[in-house]
Amino acid sequence: MNASSIQVGLVTSLFTIGAVLIRPFVGYYLIDNQRKSLAICASAALMIITILYPFLNIIWLLLLLRLFHGAAWGVSTTANSTIVVDLIPKKRLGEGIGYFSISTTVGAIVAPSIGILIYDSYSFDILIWSSAVLSLLAIIALQFVSSPINVKCKKKPFRFLDMIYEKEVWFPALLTVITTLGFGAIITFLVLFGKQKGVDHIFLFFLINATVSTLLRPFTGKWYYKKGPWSIIIMSAVLGFFSLVILSYTSNDSQLIIAAILFGAGYGTVMPCLQTWTVQKVSEEKRGAANATFFSSFDVGVGVSAFVLGILAEWISLAMIFRFVSLSFIVVAVLVYKDYINEKYGMNKSI
């Protein structure tokens, strides 16, 4: 298409923008409307949008489609996660979200590898149709999901800014933004960093990270239920800090594996805990809005990380980038500890 570098960048950024902008409306809709029907419509939209990609050869149309693709993704993730939260018993919310997040973790790790394999082995069209089939399978699977009847309540007038960040969950939302700065650095620079350092098996980081995260989820969910969010988030944040520091000095597979184990135990534990904490802070009818806030915070953190660190990468090494962003985990640990002290001594409800 002879696209410029700016246009190529927009292909990525518009997806995030679409997801962030739509989630406040989705959260408001889910207050007293059916989650399941919205999830099915979102999956259908994802399937249709995916099929349209091969037919577009005009840049501005592709960019517009990318915006709508992000919006459909924002609707789907918010509706599906709200259904899951509705189905999990309150006493096992942390454990249940931990299990649910396994699917997203595995998907995020496996999907790129399979996508590249299909593209290299067959063609872009086959890749697109394979993705469309997966959306169709999601629609079929949703038919067998039982979605609880919504709690009817009087809704306040819609205010976009209020729905972007549900005020009751601003603290875990802030922690989510800060935490995902490290994840943004990983997905943006790790492959390039591996090439610079001569580490050929960089895929091991993603594989081991996903494996460790998955294996720990059942235990961390029970820990959250028994002890609350503070101790597990602080410990996980410290592990995340050390993982990025070790990664910044990595020059061989052994060091990469150690960093991956720590990152899986750290970041992989923090995120489901933050989502659980977010949902627990609101009443049942606001779960959709709370989930919208959580996922928007995730998108903002990754987007800001990629943008700001991309600028810094012009001036400092990627190793320094990882060391710099590792401090975000320390910030999270300090903020959570302060919130714990405030909660313990009744100084404030949160920071």
Residue 341 makes CB contacts below 8 A (sequence gap 6+) with 347
Is 176 or 95 the better-scoring residue by pLDDT? 176
Give the range among 59-63, 122-126, 219-223, 283-287 with minimum mean pLDDT: 283-287
Q: Is the pLDDT of residue 155 over 70?
A: no
Looking at domain 5-145+160-344, its CATH architecture is Up-down Bundle (1.20)
Token pair belonging to 2: 């002879």
Instruction: Determine the distance from the C-alpha atom of residue 161 to the mean position of all C-alpha atoms in its chain, rounded to a whole number.
Output: 21
Closest by CA to 23, choosing from 166, 130, 124, is 166
Residue 5: pLDDT over 50: no
Q: What does the pLDDT read at residue 46? A: 96
The whole-chain average pLDDT of the chain stands at 84
How high is the pLDDT of residue 200? 80
pLDDT surpasses 60 at 159 = yes
Average pLDDT over every residue of 108-132: 82
Rounded distance, CA 139 to CA 143, Å? 7
- Going by pLDDT thresholds of 50, 70 and 90, the confidence category of residue 132 is very high
Q: What are 73's two structure tokens?
A: 């993704």
Q: DSSP class of residue 190?
A: H
The residues, ordered by sequence, that sit 6+ positions from 324 with a Cβ below 8 Å of its Cβ are 309, 312, 316
Dump pLDDT digits (tens) for 228-267: 899 999 999 999 999 999 999 999 999 999 999 999 999 9
Buried b / exposed e along 168-194 (16+ C-beta atoms within 10 A): bbbbbbbbbbbbbbbbbbbebbbeebb
- At residue 155, the 3 state secondary structure works out as coil
Report the range of poorest mean pLDDT among 126-130, 157-161, 310-314: 157-161
Output the six-digit token pair for 307. 């943008």
